[in-house]
A and B are shown apart, each in its own frame.
Chain A
């Protein structure tokens, strides 16, 4: 933290910040973190204000907002601390982005063990949200150790063995148990960074669920789904599955030359917020029909990892196409056994409202338990949908959808959420009380807080 010459702390001005969805906005003092001592200095000088670690601001809603309090911007805190070629364990400061990790380690034959659909989040933010990707493990499965600063000013290292309560409350804990300063992550060896890809069309929901059943041999799967299709076309989609290509699967010299290289394609940047009407039911339906129609029944190819994992990253600031008021993402999970019924019911409900979701992604998370106490990923089907806020009417629909998600024993992903009610949240996360006990133990005064925490009651009740 900046100090003036006689040692008084210099507070940055209060500025309005948002998450990736650009809704809601909230003012906070944002302290950039560049050196190891700074988080501790801010903690000491907080004078009753609460703190929140903030990464790249890629969570959609209010997860990284802390109204009228302090945020610590970890993006300048982004150094690698160590890498063990034998074990693949990378230790890095929390503000390093997934893109920076790939840029350095892909040429050496390593990849992130799990990656979300964008490479721009920070490592610390990814741990706090326990992000998931196209495989059946969430990131926490590969986190070896976390180095944290706690509310009482102590520095601790936690892992599944050491302080396991803190560790499993912190992965997926939305930054509310302490500040994640450094992360040790087990990287994944790859022969090439190219993806052996297969895209398969599914005419309806039955077909896509069938495909999810039979794709166990593909380590990474995801389906693009046309959520405006109704009736017999309900759930029409394209299964996109992939695996890292092996050397002997590459066909051309051109492919071999790219086997270890970081893709460097031109990026399109959206310069300003589009008018709110530009994404409407007609334009999205037209796009979806073309996209589905043009895709062959089955497509086999080799593609670079950017195209497979991060298709939207090639359009910088794509969030601006949703217009001035921003967007809300609705991502839920329905447990495996109820999966088909739940997804079908919700898709019917959503398409009946006639709201256009430009991006709709369905995936299956296999039968692997996640010990994270309030971590989102668990065995089940995940559906993610984006909606422009527009005049706000969509939010009422979402409250209705929450009831359906609950009925099927599902839950909402906090990293995407900006609007859920506390009652719904309490019913969705069965291990919430366990998490609250850990919060009480390590942060009894709510030193770490956020707009999301206040909205959902992820706080210790003071004086009660």
Chain B
């Protein structure tokens, strides 16, 4: 069983509810995880948890701040100096503020855009360059169904995710011939601390379910996946409403 080479997997935004669930699915003696986020003390705790669960090498922990794009180059070198090579990179980080609050206070809107789009592009460009040169690897970006169509109730967050979606699409196109795969994940409503301010209805899914869905899509080398899959159909309907009608809807 141990003949299999250890895979090095980077998780950006490893303190998010979905990332934690995914890391638990991944933890095994054959996987070396690298957890990255701003809160290093929390990551150390998660790393210990994953070590106990996975009975493998303990994950590495590296401080990462999506907003500090000037540090991203150095961050990646630090990752590579610790584990040698990088096989997969998951991008989980993201900020969600309430639409009305963000309309009143542009600082909130800017933080979402800078984190969800600018920060993501900054780090992924560097990871992509590394993987392209190496001729192998996989990038998994967590976008959102909110990026599929702008709605009055969350277009500031949604547009930052729409930018990420299109970015990942272009990156996939660019890297296709180099053997690097890009997967875009669009979760619907996930019951995590990020969505703490929402009333949880039937459409909410546990992060553990999303994590399993992501891994399934990774194994199948999918390009785009909605999780859970019924969101594919919900968004198909939402996208196909003519703009002249859509603009009058309360959504």
CA distance A32 to B196 in the complex (A): 7
Asked whether, in the complex, the Cβ of A80 is within 8 Å of the Cβ of B197, the reply is no
Determine which of B39, B48, B199 lies in contact with A79 in the assembled complex, contact meaning CB atoms within 8 Å: B48
Q: Chain A, 25-36, contact with B by CB distance < 8 Å: what is the 0/1 string?
A: 000000110111
Asked whether, in the complex, the Cβ of B97 is within 8 Å of the Cβ of A4, the reply is yes
Asked whether, in the complex, the Cβ of B107 is within 8 Å of the Cβ of A6, the reply is yes
Asked whether, in the complex, the Cβ of A82 is within 8 Å of the Cβ of B52, the reply is yes
Q: Chain A, 17-61, contact with B by CB distance < 8 Å: what is the 0/1 string?
A: 000000000000001101110000000000000000000000000
Asked whether, in the complex, the Cβ of A79 is within 8 Å of the Cβ of B49, the reply is yes
CA distance A34 to B41 in the complex (A): 13
Contacts of B53 in A (CB 8 A): 80, 104
* Interface of chain A residues 361 through 419 with chain B (CB within 8 A): none
Asked whether, in the complex, the Cβ of A81 is within 8 Å of the Cβ of B108, the reply is no
Q: How many residues of B contact A (CB 8 A)?
A: 26
CA distance A12 to B192 in the complex (A): 13
Asked whether, in the complex, the Cβ of A31 is within 8 Å of the Cβ of B52, the reply is no
Known A5-B108, A76-B17: A34·B193 in contact at CB below 8 Å:
yes
Q: Mostly helix, strand, loop or mixed at chain A's interface?
A: loop
Determine which of A5, A13, A81 lies in contact with B197 in the assembled complex, contact meaning CB atoms within 8 Å: A13
Q: Mostly helix, strand, loop or mixed at chain B's interface?
A: helix
Contacts of A442 in B (CB 8 A): none
CA distance A104 to B53 in the complex (A): 6
CA distance A31 to B101 in the complex (A): 19
Query: Residue of B at shortest CB range from A103?
Result: B53
CA distance A32 to B53 in the complex (A): 23
Determine which of B17, B52, B198 lies in contact with A34 in the assembled complex, contact meaning CB atoms within 8 Å: B17
User: B125 an interface residue at 8 Å Cβ cutoff?
Assistant: no
Q: Chain B, 3-25, contact with A by CB distance < 8 Å: what is the 0/1 string?
A: 00000000000010100100000
Contacts of A4 in B (CB 8 A): 97, 101, 105, 108
Determine which of A6, A10, A12, A36 lies in contact with B42 in the assembled complex, contact meaning CB atoms within 8 Å: A36
14 new A-B contacts, CB < 8 A, other than A4-B108, A13-B198, A104-B53, are A5-B107, A6-B105, A10-B98, A10-B197, A12-B196, A12-B197, A13-B199, A32-B192, A34-B193, A35-B39, A35-B42, A36-B41, A76-B17, A82-B52
23 cross-chain CB contacts under 8 A:
A2-B196, A2-B197, A4-B97, A4-B105, A5-B105, A5-B107, A5-B108, A6-B105, A6-B107, A10-B196, A12-B196, A34-B17, A35-B15, A36-B45, A76-B17, A76-B192, A79-B45, A79-B46, A80-B52, A81-B45, A81-B49, A82-B52, A83-B52
A residues touching B (Cβ–Cβ < 8 Å)? 2, 4-6, 10, 12-13, 15, 31-32, 34-36, 76, 79-83, 104
